[in-house]
């Protein structure tokens, strides 16, 4: 089958050949100078798809490829288009990008998360991308074209296609239901997405498998909205007798098979089933004998004639019927399920071993591998547990310990000495306060949770330890520490949750550590006012949805001996900017929830954040965006991928005033 125009400017360019009941539908949208290929397909039908496209346009006109998810039937041939010399953008979600790169795709990505889930073509036509999480992939989505009111639906509304037609006919519903019963996880996941689609004016659905739906579209959406599917289904029980008895059940199975396969072929097989009776028109009119034996014979006859694939394809549907009408499964299907249960048992045994491994791993996750101390996550959990007890006054004081100029020390003496310093300071702290009082931190170097001590005793002991570390001969070079401490009378119990109270308690101790470091080296700070705690010229806030970029910048900027905070969206960035008042904020422009421009406007609206230097990063940089940034007072707008040395130079100049 060659190409066919499905709708105004949208063409079917796939390969109609089915493989084990599945075909792969690729669609091409042509709009002026733009050509967008949706779900280009697998390597098996690559040559046919290329031939179909060439009959419409030169391949070089394709400037976008939309990948609705990562499966090989959707996009394993993209690298073959690249080998033909084509240049295009790959439109997809970041979750899909993470996986499809392993197909060897080299083209640039147009990520939905960076473009407000839409693509604007040169003509002004907008394509909207609708998220469909876990149907059947976490990053799955579909495409809606408002101009033609068409939905390119990926796996949704797809079907098994043993007797395929380009457009859905009266048999399509059964094919579609069978496909979804196998591949979609549950009604709980399916229903909210269908509710979302019902809010759109959809007049045609183009799935990646099966047939194009162009008549009574909403009825198909409603059917999937109520479909019970997945291995954990729990359908509503019904009375068998009141709903037509076993004859109705036999007919349901017969009709499902006729929707999937050639009807005459199905008729021949069902007429072989002992006990089933048909009239001259091929209508099942009655059965004779024990209905449960006939129920078994139906599937024995199918298996004998067509093998277990024909039996397996309707297994979810038969399981649903059995659960709905409280009838036993056919014997041959019990063997299928028993095999699955044996496999599940094997998996359970593996999981027991895995759980033991996880316990071991969890122990490593909550302990620092260098010092053996419990980490910051563990400390926060401990504080929450303490707050949950009746007498919060029993909460201990909290001290944070930071090694002065440790970045320069590590650079001078190397990794082995760095680890030696951490182990030796941990040893000294445990000797002074006890093993269970010391914790390894991310935002500082160490923390101390000190109970059953008076305030004066705590201050005296902390000062003693500070001086002991400074005079110690355990280190190759000069080592000193600064400390910040807060006490339980400073707890804010008006916070909404214990987690927030614990977070704020720890933050007060960290703020005092920052003040100590600002005063120089080897300071202990246990009393500050709000103004002191706001001063933090040596801190940087990095804002990006890309975890890799966050980690890279955090590591390199941390080497400048500054405190680094991170945020993954605009709202979190604003909260941390108001909390820490950093000297510079480095932010991706296209952030979720609040973009970089709005973030800068919000910062400018508050007196204590209005003077923070802001640096913009983005994959998109043009004259309009740069002018808009300059009008907001943003002097540095770097295009990704940026030069790291240039960005670090900007940070250095800012923190040095």
The pLDDT score that the predictor gives to residue 425 is 94
Residue 583 covered by a domain: yes
Q: Are residues 502 and 572 located together in one domain of the fold?
A: no
Residue 361 covered by a domain: no
522 closest CA partner among 562, 561, 470? 470
Task: From 284, 314, 336, give the residue that closes a domain.
Answer: 336
In the predicted model, is pLDDT for residue 164 greater than 90? no
Nearest-5° Cα angle at 373, 367 to 374: 55
> Per the structure block, which two tokens stand in for 579?
């909390």
Mean of pLDDT values over 191-210: 92
In the predicted model, is pLDDT for residue 347 greater than 70? no
Task: From 494, 512, 534, give the residue that closes a domain.
Answer: 534
DSSP state letter for 643: P
In the predicted model, is pLDDT for residue 535 greater than 50? no
User: How does pLDDT run across 357-375, given as a tens digit for each residue?
Assistant: 555 555 556 888 889 899 8
Residue 358 covered by a domain: no
368 closest CA partner among 379, 359, 358? 379
The pLDDT score that the predictor gives to residue 207 is 95
* Mean pLDDT value across the chain: 86
Query: Is the sign of the CA dihedral 150, 154, 160, 161 positive or negative?
Result: positive
- How many CA atoms are closer than 13 Å to the CA of 418, on its beta-carbon side? 12
Q: Are residues 205 and 266 located together in one domain of the fold?
A: no
Mean of pLDDT values over 549-566: 83
Cα-based distances in Å from 412 to 19, 406, 446, 472, 520? 63, 10, 22, 19, 20
Q: Are 128 and 150 in contact (CB under 8 A)?
A: no
How many whole angstroms separate alpha carbon 250 and alpha carbon 258? 12
Helix axes 315-325, 331-365, angle to 10 degrees: 100
In the predicted model, is pLDDT for residue 345 greater than 80? no
How many whole angstroms separate alpha carbon 19 and alpha carbon 198? 32
In the predicted model, is pLDDT for residue 496 greater than 80? no
More confident residue, 227 or 301: 301
More confident residue, 535 or 230: 230
Mean of pLDDT values over 581-602: 88
Q: Are residues 42 and 129 located together in one domain of the fold?
A: yes
Q: Are residues 596 and 557 located together in one domain of the fold?
A: yes
Cα-based distances in Å from 505 to 132, 312, 383, 509, 515? 40, 59, 9, 7, 16
Mean of pLDDT values over 105-115: 90
How many whole angstroms separate alpha carbon 566 and alpha carbon 576? 8
In the predicted model, is pLDDT for residue 389 greater than 80? no
In the predicted model, is pLDDT for residue 538 greater than 80? no
The pLDDT score that the predictor gives to residue 356 is 60
Residue 363 covered by a domain: no
**Helix, strand or coil, per DSSP, at residue 69:** coil
How many whole angstroms separate alpha carbon 303 and alpha carbon 297? 10
How many whole angstroms separate alpha carbon 441 and alpha carbon 425? 13
| Per-position b or e across 116-132, b if 16+ CB within 10 A of its CB | eeebebeeebebbbbeb
Which range among 150-159, 224-233, 429-438 shows the weakest confidence by mean pLDDT?
A: 224-233
Question: For the chain, what is the domain count?
Answer: 4
How large a percentage of the chain has pLDDT more than 90?
Answer: 39
In the predicted model, is pLDDT for residue 355 greater than 90? no
The pLDDT score that the predictor gives to residue 531 is 46
Residue 345 covered by a domain: no
The pLDDT score that the predictor gives to residue 517 is 81
209 closest CA partner among 493, 476, 18? 18
User: How does pLDDT run across 430-471, given as a tens digit for each residue?
Assistant: 999 988 899 999 878 999 999 888 888 899 899 899 989 988
Mean of pLDDT values over 36-65: 94
DSSP state letter for 279: -
Q: Are residues 639 and 553 located together in one domain of the fold?
A: yes
Q: Are residues 521 and 543 located together in one domain of the fold?
A: no
Task: From 534, 566, 592, give the residue that closes a domain.
Answer: 534
Mean of pLDDT values over 403-431: 87
Residue 503 covered by a domain: yes
Tell me which range, 219-233, 240-254, 557-571, is most confidently predicted by mean pLDDT: 240-254
How many whole angstroms separate alpha carbon 164 and alpha carbon 212? 11
Q: Which H/E stretch holds residue 486?
A: strand 481-486
Annotate 301-337 with DSSP letters as a single string: HHHHHH-HHHHHHTHHHHHHHHHHHT-PPPHHHHHHH
Residue 555 covered by a domain: yes
The pLDDT score that the predictor gives to residue 353 is 59
Q: How many angstroms from the chain centroid is the CA of residue 241?
A: 47
The pLDDT score that the predictor gives to residue 344 is 52
Residue 392 pLDDT level (bands cut at 50, 70, 90) = low
**Residues facing 110 on adjacent strands:** 91
Q: Are residues 530 and 613 located together in one domain of the fold?
A: no
In the predicted model, is pLDDT for residue 322 greater than 50? yes
Annotate 182-249 with DSSP letters as a single string: HH---HHHHHHHHHHHHTS---EEEESSS-BB-SSHHHHHHHHHT---STT--PPP--TGGGTHHHHH
CATH number for the domain that contains residue 393: 3.30.70.270
In the predicted model, is pLDDT for residue 390 greater than 80? no
> Per the structure block, which two tokens stand in for 404?
């002065």
CATH number for the domain that contains residue 80: 3.60.15.10
Mean of pLDDT values over 624-636: 90
User: How does pLDDT run across 560-591, given as a tens digit for each residue?
Assistant: 778 889 998 888 888 888 878 888 999 999 88
In the predicted model, is pLDDT for residue 254 greater than 60? yes
**Helix intervals (H) in 234-290:** 245-260, 263-271
Enumerate long-range contacts of 161-164, CB under 8 Å, 24 or more apart. Answer: 161/18, 161/21, 161/22, 161/23, 161/209, 161/210, 161/211, 162/18, 162/21, 162/260, 162/261, 162/262, 163/260, 163/261, 163/262, 164/16, 164/18, 164/23, 164/210, 164/211
More confident residue, 557 or 608: 557
401 closest CA partner among 459, 462, 455? 462
Mean of pLDDT values over 522-531: 74
In the predicted model, is pLDDT for residue 341 greater than 80? no
Which residues form the domain of 566? 539-655
Residue 306 covered by a domain: yes
The pLDDT score that the predictor gives to residue 529 is 57
Which range among 76-85, 305-314, 607-616 shows the weakest confidence by mean pLDDT?
A: 607-616
Q: Are residues 525 and 543 located together in one domain of the fold?
A: no
Query: Is the sign of the CA dihedral 603, 607, 609, 614 positive or negative?
Result: positive
118 closest CA partner among 64, 48, 195, 194? 64
Quick check: bond before 136 cis, omega within 30? yes
> C-alpha dihedral over 552, 557, 562, 563, to 10 degrees?
-20
**Helix, strand or coil, per DSSP, at residue 454:** coil
| Per-position b or e across 413-442, b if 16+ CB within 10 A of its CB | eeeeebebbbbbbbebbbebbeeebbbbbe
Q: Are residues 556 and 529 located together in one domain of the fold?
A: no
Q: Is the pTM of this model over 0.75?
A: no
Q: Are residues 164 and 96 located together in one domain of the fold?
A: yes
The pLDDT score that the predictor gives to residue 348 is 55
**Helix intervals (H) in 15-162:** 46-54, 72-75, 78-83, 94-100
How many whole angstroms separate alpha carbon 22 and alpha carbon 26? 13
Residue 394: Cβ within 10 Å count: 11
The pLDDT score that the predictor gives to residue 362 is 58
Return the beta strands (E) in 71-196 as ranges. 89-92, 109-111, 118-120, 126-131, 141-145, 150-154
Q: Are residues 38 and 139 located together in one domain of the fold?
A: yes
Q: Are residues 271 and 214 located together in one domain of the fold?
A: no
> Per the structure block, which two tokens stand in for 284?
């099942």
503 closest CA partner among 366, 380, 375? 380
Reported residue count of the chain is 657
């Amino acid at each position: 089958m060659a190409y066919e125009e499905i709708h105004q400017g949208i063409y079917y360019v796939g390969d109609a050949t089915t493989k084990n009941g599945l075909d792969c539908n690729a669609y091409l949208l042509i709009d002026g100078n733009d050509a967008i290929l949706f779900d280009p397909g697998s390597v098996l039908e690559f040559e046919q798809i290329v031939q179909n496209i060439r009959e419409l346009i030169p391949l070089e006109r394709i400037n976008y490829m939309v990948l609705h998810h990562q499966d090989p039937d959707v996009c394993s041939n993209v690298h073959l288009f690249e080998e033909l010399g084509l240049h295009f953008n790959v439109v997809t979600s970041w979750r899909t990008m993470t996986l499809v790169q392993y197909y060897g795709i080299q083209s640039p990505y147009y990520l939905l998360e960076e473009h407000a889930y839409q693509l604007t073509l040169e003509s002004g036509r907008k394509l909207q991308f609708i998220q469909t999480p876990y149907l059947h992939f976490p990053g799955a989505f579909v495409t809606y074209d408002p101009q033609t009111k068409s939905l390119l639906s990926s796996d949704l509304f797809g079907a098994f296609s043993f007797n395929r037609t380009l457009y859905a006919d009266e048999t399509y519903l059964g094919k579609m239901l069978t496909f979804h019963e196998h591949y979609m996880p549950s009604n709980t996941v399916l229903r909210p997405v269908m509710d979302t689609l019902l809010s759109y004016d959809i007049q045609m659905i183009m799935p990646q498998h099966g047939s194009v739906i162009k008549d009574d579209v909403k009825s198909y959406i409603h059917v999937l909205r109520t479909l019970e599917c997945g291995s954990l289904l729990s359908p509503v029980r019904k009375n068998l007798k009141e709903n037509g008895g076993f004859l109705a059940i036999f007919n349901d199975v017969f009709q499902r098979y006729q929707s999937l396969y050639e009807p005459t072929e199905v008729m021949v097989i069902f007429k072989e089933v002992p006990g089933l009776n048909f009239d001259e028109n091929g209508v099942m009119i009655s059965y004779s004998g024990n209905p449960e034996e006939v129920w078994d014979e139906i599937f024995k006859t199918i298996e004998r004639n067509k093998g277990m694939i024909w039996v397996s394809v309707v297994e979810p549907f038969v399981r649903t019927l059995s659960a709905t009408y409280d009838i036993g499964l056919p014997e041959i299907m019990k063997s299928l399920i028993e095999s699955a249960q044996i496999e599940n048992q094997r998996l359970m045994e593996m999981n027991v071993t895995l759980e033991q491994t996880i316990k071991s791993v969890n122990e490593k996750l909550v302990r620092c591998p260098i010092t053996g101390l419990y980490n910051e996550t563990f400390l926060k959990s401990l504080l929450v547990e303490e707050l949950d007890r009746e007498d919060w006054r029993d909460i201990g004081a909290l001290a944070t310990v930071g090694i002065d100029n440790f970045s320069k020390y590590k650079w001078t003496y190397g990794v082995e000495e760095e680890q030696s310093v951490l182990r030796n300071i941990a040893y000294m702290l445990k000797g002074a306060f006890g093993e269970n009082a010391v914790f390894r931190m991310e935002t500082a170097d160490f923390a101390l949770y000190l109970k059953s001590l008076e305030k004066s005793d705590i201050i005296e002991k902390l000062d003693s330890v500070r001086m002991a570390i400074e005079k110690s001969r355990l280190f190759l070079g000069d080592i000193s520490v600064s400390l910040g401490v807060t006490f339980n009378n400073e707890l804010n119990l008006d916070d909404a949750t214990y987690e927030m109270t614990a977070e704020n308690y720890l933050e007060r101790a960290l703020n005092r550590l920052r003040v100590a470091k600002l005063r120089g080296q080897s300071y202990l700070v246990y009393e500050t006012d709000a103004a002191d705690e706001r001063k933090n010229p040596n801190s940087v806030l990095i804002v990006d949805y890309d975890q890799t970029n966050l980690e890279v910048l955090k590591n390199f900027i941390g080497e400048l001996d500054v405190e680094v905070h991170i945020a993954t969206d605009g709202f979190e960035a604003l909260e941390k900017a108001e909390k820490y008042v950093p000297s510079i904020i480095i932010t991706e422009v296209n952030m979720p929830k609040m973009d970089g421009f709005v973030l800068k406007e919000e910062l400018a609206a508050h007196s204590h954040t209005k003077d923070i230097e802001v640096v913009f990063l983005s994959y998109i940089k043009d004259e309009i965006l740069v002018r808009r940034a300059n009008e907001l007072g943003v002097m540095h707008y770097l295009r990704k991928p940026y030069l790291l040395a240039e960005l670090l130079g900007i940070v250095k100049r800012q923190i040095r005033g």
